[in-house]
Structures are given as C-alpha cells and as structure tokens.
Amino acid sequence: MSNMSSAGRDNTHIWVRAEKKENERRVAIVPKDAETLIKAGYKVTVEASGQRCITTDAYQSVGCHIAPEDSWTEAPADAFILGVKELPDADEDLIHRHIYFGHVYKDQPDWQHTLGRFVSGNGILYDLECLVDENERRIAAFGYWAGYAGAATAVMTWLGQQAGLVPPVGSIGSYPNVEALLAELRTGLEKVGNKPNMIVIGALGRTGSGATDLGKALGMDISKWDMAETASGGPFPEIQKHSIFVNCILASPSCPRFVTADDIQVEDRRLSVIADVSCDPESAYNPIPIYNRSTTFDSPTVSAVAGDNPLDIVAIDHLPSMLPLESSEDYSKQLMTALIDLKEPEKGIWGRALDQFNRNIARL
C-alpha cells in the first residue's frame, strides 16, 4: 500500500474534525498550539462544532481555516484528519491519513471492518495510543484527567448508593472547571457525613495519579497499588475491603483479573463501586470480568450486584470529557511533541505508529 509520504512538503495540512460521539466535548489541539503549528508552516483547518468545549471563533482568531461540520470526507487527499474518538459507523473507504484513538488493535468488536476501510481506501491510521517515544512510552495521553474524572464518578455513584437511588446516578454532565466539580462532591459528602475509602490500582501512572489526586482533594483514605502489589496474580481479597476501586491498568494478556464473580461473593464485601477507567469490557483481557459493556454519560453505571449491598460499575470510555477544557489543554500540550514533526510521517514517533498500523492490517 502507499504511505503517501509528505516528507519535505511545505504546508502540511492538519484537518481537525468535529467529534460525533455523544457528550464528547474534547479536542486534540487547542488554539494556542494550532497557532504554533501555523507559524511553523502548517496549514490547520478546524471544522465548526457546537459541541466542542472551545469556540470555533477562537480557532479562527489564531489563523485557522474554518470548514463546515463533518466535511472532512471532502478534505484534500493529502490532509491529516485529526480527531479524538472513533469515526462514526460507516462502510465508505477511508482515503485519508487519520489520527485518533482507533480502539481496533485489541480485537475489539468490528476491528476488522474498521481496518478494512483503511485498506480498501488506501488510507492510514496513526492511532493516538501508539504515538510512543524510543522507549515505547506514550508521548501524549488523557490519562491524568481520565483518572481524576473516573474517581469523581465513583464518588458520585457511592453518594447515590448512600441515598438509596437505583440507579445511583441518573446522568453525568461536563463541568466548566475542576473547582465546580469538587464543590459539588464536597457538598454531597458533607450531607452524608462520612467518606468512602478507595483503592487505586495503577497508582504510579498518569491515570492513577489523577485518581489519587481527586481522592486527596476530598480528604479520602486511599490505598495506592501498582505492579508490586499485583505481582502475585491474584486473587486480591483486599480490594473487597474498599468502598471504591479505581482500575487504571490497561487490559493486556499479562494483566491479572482484579475482581471476578467469585471475589464479590464474600459476605463482608465493602466494595460497592468500581470505576474501570481503562474501560476495555469487550476485550478478552478485561481485568474485571464481571461486566461486558461500556457505560455512558447518560447512563453512567451498570449493576453487577443489586439489593441491599449493591455493586455498580462505571465504565465510560471518554471520562476526560467531564472536564473537557483542562483535559484538552493538557493533551494538546503533550501532543505538540509529535505534531510539530508531522511533516515527516514515516519517521520517529509517527513511523512507530505507522508500523503498528501495518502490523495490524497484516492480520486481516
């Protein structure tokens, strides 16, 4: 297949598409970083969007070209189409070079169909999850804010349980800033008169640090686990002694099973909320195999155990959109490390992502 090299080409074109996933208000690049790219010789087109947390005018004011919403299919063939979440379901061939979180490399449902669209259209996916440095460390991630929001939704769920609500949370929205979110949670905890304790697995990573910081901000008792604490491979009865478990470990063949159907049968279970921030319920490697579907902002929880001692799971795969402005600003700053070198999409960070794409299409 052709890799459509643009090495050395002036005015490499980045086309920022509007997100179509419901409640997805994030964007991969914010205006000040778009301006930096324009000054470095890039052309940046941004689609209009009433859903995005940053106004279209803010992009136009720094020199971005503005295009109608959902017009990326008509973008020049050599443009890089930049997004955050998956493309809408469709069958049309994909002719462009796309940059977004594909969720197709771990045998997720429809992975073959999605990658097949790239193959038939001679397009390329540079999966954001595969933008790594020479040490295989991701150069940009929403992890911190995913962990922060995941822990926050867990506390909301716990508060709903204390109030006897079924489901414990009706819906979740986005917040203008962190302070507004914390104020709401503190008010809820004050009404209840006590606080849940929390265990965070993956506490040493970016996602785990976000979850931990949310717990600290609310004055919660937190157990911080990472590889050393899970090296035994399980079972892990200690998890059942915490009100909230926040999972920040990505599903993989080597990942232990943290909570199984047998684990939650113990009579003295305190565990009542799981926030699966990594959120790969449909993967064969799901480390919490007591549920099998993601949840949404409109329906945030899935019940694993009903009754007087409930267990509810939050598994929203775009949690940082709860705090879209902070998470977008943070991610954009990180992503600039790679975007500034996009004029050479077969080298370095981009070359490694291209290798991943080629390896996975070879599986079809």
Residue with tokens 């594909």: 102
Mapping DSSP to helix (H, G, I), strand (E, B) and coil, where does residue 170 land?
A: coil
Q: Are residues 38 and 124 in the same domain?
A: yes
Q: Are residues 227 and 344 in the same domain?
A: no
Q: Are residues 64 and 154 in the same domain?
A: no
From 342, 359, 363, 360, select the one nearest 98 (Cα to Cα): 342
Question: Is residue 5 situated within a structural domain?
Answer: no
User: Are the C-beta atoms of residues 282 and 292 closer than 8 Å to each other?
Assistant: yes
CATH number of residue 311's parent domain: 3.40.50.720
Q: Indicate the helix (H) or strand (E) that contains 351.
A: helix 348-361
Q: Are residues 174 and 295 in the same domain?
A: yes
Q: Are residues 196 and 277 in the same domain?
A: yes
> What separation in angstroms does the CA of 276 have from each of 95, 146, 225, 259, 282?
34, 10, 15, 11, 13
Distance from C-alpha of 246 to C-alpha of 259, rounded to nearest angstrom: 11
At 128, the amino acid letter reads: L
Question: Is residue 339 situated within a structural domain?
Answer: yes
Question: Is residue 4 situated within a structural domain?
Answer: no
Distance from C-alpha of 57 to C-alpha of 104, rounded to nearest angstrom: 34
Say how many domains are in the chain. Answer: 2
- 351: pLDDT strictly greater than 70: yes
Question: Is residue 104 situated within a structural domain?
Answer: yes
User: Are the C-beta atoms of residues 291 and 275 closer than 8 Å to each other?
Assistant: no
CB count in 10 Å sphere of residue 136: 8
Question: Is residue 3 situated within a structural domain?
Answer: no
What average pLDDT does this structure show over 118-147?
96
Q: Number of helices and strands (H, E) in the chain? A: 9, 12
> What separation in angstroms does the CA of 260 have from each of 22, 239, 286, 289?
31, 11, 10, 6
Beta bridge partners of 100: 127
Q: Are residues 163 and 270 in the same domain?
A: yes
What average pLDDT does this structure show over 284-297?
94
**Residue ranges making up the domain that contains 238:** 143-321
68-125 residue pLDDT tens: 999 999 999 999 999 999 999 999 999 999 999 999 998 888 999 999 999 999 999 9
What average pLDDT does this structure show over 235-259?
96
Q: Are residues 209 and 254 in the same domain?
A: yes
Question: Is residue 1 situated within a structural domain?
Answer: no
> Cis ω on the peptide bond leading into residue 76 (within 30° of 0)?
no
pLDDT confidence of residue 10 = 60
Q: Are residues 103 and 195 in the same domain?
A: no
Domain boundary among 289, 306, 321: 321
Which of 5-14, 117-126, 275-284, 352-361 shows the lowest mean pLDDT across its residues? 5-14
pLDDT confidence of residue 1 = 38
User: Are the C-beta atoms of residues 350 and 341 closer than 8 Å to each other?
Assistant: yes
Beta bridge partners of 15: 45, 81
Q: Are residues 53 and 116 in the same domain?
A: yes
Question: Is residue 226 situated within a structural domain?
Answer: yes
pTM for the structure as a whole:
0.84
Q: Which residues are catalytic?
A: 85, 103
pLDDT confidence of residue 133 = 96
Q: Are residues 161 and 300 in the same domain?
A: yes
Percent of the chain exceeding pLDDT 90 equals 92
Q: Are residues 147 and 290 in the same domain?
A: yes
Q: Are residues 234 and 357 in the same domain?
A: no
Q: What single string gives the DSSP state of each residue in 312-329?
A: EEE-BTTGGGGSHHHHHH
User: Are the C-beta atoms of residues 354 and 132 closer than 8 Å to each other?
Assistant: no
Question: Is residue 138 situated within a structural domain?
Answer: no
- 341: pLDDT strictly greater than 60: yes
